[in-house]
A and B are shown apart, each in its own frame.
Chain A
């Protein structure tokens, strides 16, 4: 079964501080994604990547940067954290080809910005 892990699992940050959320997958998947989940909004795509050393913007990229240094690792960086970025963040991965394009999700990181 696909294994996607995230660290930290929870974080409290101060406004204006830098936050880095990390994601690691062990399934050789090409695609990786970062979503945020807010009550009443479902999941919204922030950034995604289909190959190492390349990232693409999703629907809500403002205020976030992403980094994919290897196929297994995908980070989300908040250079200047703001109150509005308090949310639960999910990482996911999926295969490039196949009959099903299901995404495998990590356990989530609960970020609180004070």
Chain B
């Protein structure tokens, strides 16, 4: 079945820095890739997504890059703030309806002042 991996598993950055979170998947049939954020003690929250017919998507300080050939995604966060501290999850679905999402193990980001 689909395997979704994320690197790094954790990172600490200074406020204002940029970060890159990498995600790879194995199922070439995957077509939909949502990302979620889980702040400490809170529920998972959707932050950005991309479909396999796109290469890039931006939402304010978030930029998501997708490489279908290498089965790789990168989430770029610029001008980080303490409020960005959270666990970030990559997910992949091989269904056009976006159901049956397989999640990565998460990347824990800590932004220090």
Interface residues of A (CB under 8 A from B): 4, 31, 35, 40-45, 48, 50, 58-59, 90, 92, 94, 96-97, 100-108
Contact = CB atoms under 8 A, between A and B. Distances in A.
Interface in B75-113: 89, 93, 97-106
Given A31-B99, A43-B89, A94-B98, A102 B49 contact: yes
A100 to B, nearest CB: 6
9 contacts: A35-B103, A41-B105, A42-B4, A92-B44, A100-B46, A101-B99, A103-B46, A103-B101, A105-B43
Interface residues of B, number: 23
Contacts of A106: 43
Interface of B: 1, 4, 32, 34, 36, 42-46, 49, 89, 93, 97-106
Q: Which of B42, B44, B102, B103 has the most CB of A within 10 A?
A: B44
Given A45-B102, A102-B98, 10 more contacts: A43-B44, A45-B101, A50-B99, A101-B32, A101-B34, A101-B97, A101-B98, A102-B34, A103-B44, A105-B43
Contacts of A59: 1, 102
A97 B96 CA distance: 10
B93 A90 contact: no
